[in-house]
Amino acid sequence: MHSSDIAKLKQYIEKIENLEAEKIEVQEQVSDIFKQAKDDGFDTKIMKKILKLKKMKIEDRETEDMLLDTYMLALGLIPTSAEE
Protein backbone atom coordinates (compact mmCIF):
# COMPACT_ATOMS: atom_id res chain seq x y z
CA MET A 1 0.00 0.00 0.00
CA HIS A 2 1.33 3.42 -0.92
CA SER A 3 1.93 6.04 1.74
CA SER A 4 -0.84 8.22 0.26
CA ASP A 5 -3.26 5.30 0.54
CA ILE A 6 -2.21 4.68 4.13
CA ALA A 7 -2.80 8.35 4.95
CA LYS A 8 -6.27 8.21 3.36
CA LEU A 9 -7.09 5.03 5.27
CA LYS A 10 -6.05 6.66 8.53
CA GLN A 11 -8.25 9.68 7.74
CA TYR A 12 -11.24 7.46 7.05
CA ILE A 13 -10.71 5.52 10.28
CA GLU A 14 -10.38 8.75 12.30
CA LYS A 15 -13.54 10.20 10.72
CA ILE A 16 -15.49 7.04 11.51
CA GLU A 17 -14.19 6.99 15.09
CA ASN A 18 -15.20 10.63 15.55
CA LEU A 19 -18.67 9.97 14.17
CA GLU A 20 -19.08 6.91 16.40
CA ALA A 21 -18.20 9.06 19.43
CA GLU A 22 -20.72 11.71 18.32
CA LYS A 23 -23.34 9.01 17.83
CA ILE A 24 -22.86 7.81 21.41
CA GLU A 25 -23.21 11.38 22.66
CA VAL A 26 -26.42 11.89 20.68
CA GLN A 27 -27.83 8.58 21.93
CA GLU A 28 -27.15 9.70 25.50
CA GLN A 29 -28.94 13.00 24.82
CA VAL A 30 -31.95 11.15 23.39
CA SER A 31 -32.02 8.90 26.46
CA ASP A 32 -31.95 11.96 28.70
CA ILE A 33 -34.91 13.46 26.84
CA PHE A 34 -36.89 10.23 27.19
CA LYS A 35 -36.09 10.20 30.93
CA GLN A 36 -37.32 13.79 31.26
CA ALA A 37 -40.50 12.93 29.36
CA LYS A 38 -41.08 9.91 31.60
CA ASP A 39 -40.51 12.04 34.69
CA ASP A 40 -43.17 14.44 33.35
CA GLY A 41 -45.64 11.55 33.09
CA PHE A 42 -45.41 10.71 29.39
CA ASP A 43 -45.44 7.11 28.16
CA THR A 44 -42.08 6.72 26.43
CA LYS A 45 -43.08 3.48 24.69
CA ILE A 46 -45.86 5.39 22.93
CA MET A 47 -43.49 8.24 22.11
CA LYS A 48 -41.05 5.75 20.51
CA LYS A 49 -43.93 4.24 18.53
CA ILE A 50 -44.94 7.71 17.29
CA LEU A 51 -41.35 8.41 16.21
CA LYS A 52 -41.30 5.10 14.32
CA LEU A 53 -44.65 5.86 12.64
CA LYS A 54 -43.55 9.36 11.64
CA LYS A 55 -40.59 7.86 9.76
CA MET A 56 -42.83 5.53 7.76
CA LYS A 57 -44.43 6.29 4.42
CA ILE A 58 -48.18 6.80 4.69
CA GLU A 59 -48.86 3.76 2.50
CA ASP A 60 -46.64 1.55 4.66
CA ARG A 61 -48.28 2.81 7.83
CA GLU A 62 -51.76 2.16 6.41
CA THR A 63 -50.73 -1.36 5.38
CA GLU A 64 -49.32 -2.03 8.84
CA ASP A 65 -52.50 -0.71 10.50
CA MET A 66 -54.69 -2.87 8.25
CA LEU A 67 -52.64 -6.00 8.95
CA LEU A 68 -52.60 -5.29 12.67
CA ASP A 69 -56.40 -4.92 12.70
CA THR A 70 -56.82 -8.07 10.61
CA TYR A 71 -54.58 -10.15 12.88
CA MET A 72 -56.15 -8.77 16.07
CA LEU A 73 -59.64 -9.49 14.73
CA ALA A 74 -58.61 -13.03 13.77
CA LEU A 75 -57.22 -13.61 17.28
CA GLY A 76 -60.32 -12.22 18.96
CA LEU A 77 -58.49 -9.24 20.42
CA ILE A 78 -61.05 -6.80 19.00
CA PRO A 79 -64.77 -7.53 18.80
CA THR A 80 -66.54 -8.02 15.49
CA SER A 81 -69.69 -6.03 14.82
CA ALA A 82 -71.72 -9.23 15.45
CA GLU A 83 -70.25 -9.54 18.97
CA GLU A 84 -71.11 -6.01 20.05
Same domain, 67 and 77: yes
Query: 3 with 38, same domain?
Result: yes
pLDDT tens string for the chain (84 positions)?
899 999 999 999 999 999 999 999 999 999 999 999 999 999 999 999 999 999 999 999 999 999 999 999 999 998 877 665
Neighbours of 51 (CB within 10 A): 10
Angle at 47 between CA 69 and CA 31, to 5 degrees: 140
Q: Is residue 54 located within the same domain as residue 28?
A: no
Its domain, for residue 83, covers 43-84
pTM above 0.85, yes or no: no
* Domain count of the fold of the chain: 2
